[in-house]
Amino acid sequence: MLINLFNKNLIKYSLIFGLVLVIMSVPLYYSFMYYMSFKEQKYCYDNYKEYNRFTIGLLEYNFKDEYINYYEKKSNNIDTSFGFPHWFIPKNEKVYILDYNEDSTLAKIFVESQLEKGFFYFWVFSETLHDKPPTLNIINKNP
């Protein structure tokens, strides 16, 4: 009788333990598959002036025309202001490309920020994506 009771409890606890393992492994599997779906790992920074600097990330895709207009003016060395929802992406942060826009001027990226301690999604101008990290460029103010 004692052996039967022990076996029933052992089976019951083994099933509960197995169910808990399955429930815990499903989110881990999907998060792993999500990270594996990233297309490329790059660095995101501006180099329109003599030095490399942070990139402005677009938070809402609805403002893409204003964002593209801002970067087109910036590439022509025209100072301009902007009013779209944005976030500054530090130049040394690695970014992961999730998706390109149909016209390839914008790329959707994923940033795991060490400074802000979190994960963020942005749209960025595709010309600000680079394979190598930025180099330290010092501006000579007295030529």
Angstrom distance (rounded) from CA 73 to CA 71: 5
- Comparing 7 with 65, the larger pLDDT belongs to 65
Mean pLDDT of 123-133: 83
Same domain, 51 and 76: yes
Q: Would you say 72 and 65 are in contact if contact means Cβ atoms under 8 Å apart?
A: no
CB 98, CB 110: distance < 8 Å: yes
Residues 59 and 93 in one domain: yes
- Integer angstrom CA distances of residue 70 from 75, 85, 91, 110: 9, 13, 19, 22
pLDDT of residue 137: 56
The pLDDT, as a whole number, for residue 32 is 64
Write the pLDDT tens digit of every residue in 64-106.
Answer: 889 888 888 887 877 778 888 888 887 777 788 888 755 678 8
117 and 47 in a common domain: yes
Instruction: Report if residue 24 sits inside a domain.
Output: yes
DSSP 24: H
Express each pLDDT in 10-44 by its tens digit.
Answer: 788 888 988 988 888 888 777 766 765 666 778 88
139, part of any domain: no
Per-residue confidence at 143, pLDDT binned at 50, 70, 90?
very low
Residue 25 amino acid letter: S
Cα distances (Å, whole numbers) of residue 62 to 85, 105, 108, 114? 10, 14, 13, 28
Global pTM value: 0.61
The verdict on 15 and 62 lying in the same domain is no
What residue numbers bound the domain in which 10 lies? Answer: 1-37
| 1 pLDDT more than 50 | no
141 domain residue, yes or no: no
**The total number of structural domains that make up the chain:** 2
CA distances 90 to 9, 10, 39, 55, 56, Å, are 56, 54, 21, 7, 9
Other Cβ atoms less than 10 A from the Cβ of 58: the count is: 24
Claim to verify: residue 28 and residue 52 sit in the same structural domain: no
Q: Judge whether residue 142 has pLDDT over 70.
A: no
Q: 70 and 109: one domain?
A: yes
